[in-house]
């Protein structure tokens, strides 16, 4: 049972480039989330999904887009990366009691 898997684990982007982060879960969870965590800070919710085909904005959605075409996958896209998006990105999934998190993607925008 792999749980929640994020790819890639590390990435360096140039300002203005685009990329997609993939989150995959094998627990058949309905709810999935994307967070960012800046140094010394807590997690801030970017976008979330309550089921296949649905997405909603969280606390800090600007500059990001998401898609949930399949129940097991939740994609986070950066259309035009900015240095302010340098952060560690975490994906999570949950059904009821506990949320399961991926190991994170460390993204640097130069």
Partner 1 sequence: LAKTTQPISMDSYEGQEVNITCSHNNIATNDYITWYQQFPSQGPRFIIQGYKTKVTNEVASLFIPADRKSSTLSLPRVSLSDTAVYYCLVGEVGAGANNLFFGTGTRLTVIP
The whole-angstrom separation of Cα 77 and Cα 48 is: 13
Counting Cβ atoms within 10 Å, is residue 74 exposed (0-12), middle (13-18) or buried (19+)?
buried
Stretch of residues binding partner 1 (CB under 8 A), selected from 16-24, 48-56, 65-73, 74-82:
48-56
Stretch of residues binding partner 1 (CB under 8 A), selected from 20-28, 64-72, 79-87, 98-106:
98-106
Structural contact between residues 109 and 86, judged by C-beta atoms closer than 8 angstroms: yes
99 lies in the binding site for partner 1 (CB under 8 A): yes
The only residue of 85, 102, 107, 109 in contact with partner 1, by rule CB under 8 A: 102
39 lies in the binding site for partner 1 (CB under 8 A): no
90 lies in the binding site for partner 1 (CB under 8 A): yes
Reported as half-sphere exposure (CB side, CA atoms, 13 A), residue 95 has a value of 8
41 lies in the binding site for partner 1 (CB under 8 A): yes
The whole-angstrom separation of Cα 56 and Cα 33 is: 10
Q: What is the DSSP string of 53-64?
A: T--EE-SS-TT-
The only residue of 25, 81, 101, 107 in contact with partner 1, by rule CB under 8 A: 101
- The contact set with partner 1 (CB under 8 A) reads 4, 31, 33, 35, 41-45, 48, 50, 56, 58-59, 88, 90, 92, 94-104
């Amino acid at each position: 049972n792999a749980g929640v898997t994020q790819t890639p684990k590390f990435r360096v982007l140039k300002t203005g480039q685009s990329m997609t982060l993939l989150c995959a879960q094998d627990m058949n969870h309905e709810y999935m989330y994307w967070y960012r965590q800046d140094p010394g800070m807590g997690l801030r919710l970017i976008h979330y999904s309550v089921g296949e085909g649905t997405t909603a904005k969280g606390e800090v959605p600007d500059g990001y887009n998401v898609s949930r075409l399949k129940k097991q996958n939740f994609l986070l896209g950066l259309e035009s990366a900015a240095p302010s998006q340098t952060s560690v990105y975490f994906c999570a999934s949950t059904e009821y009691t506990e949320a399961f998190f991926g190991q994170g993607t460390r993204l640097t925008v130069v």
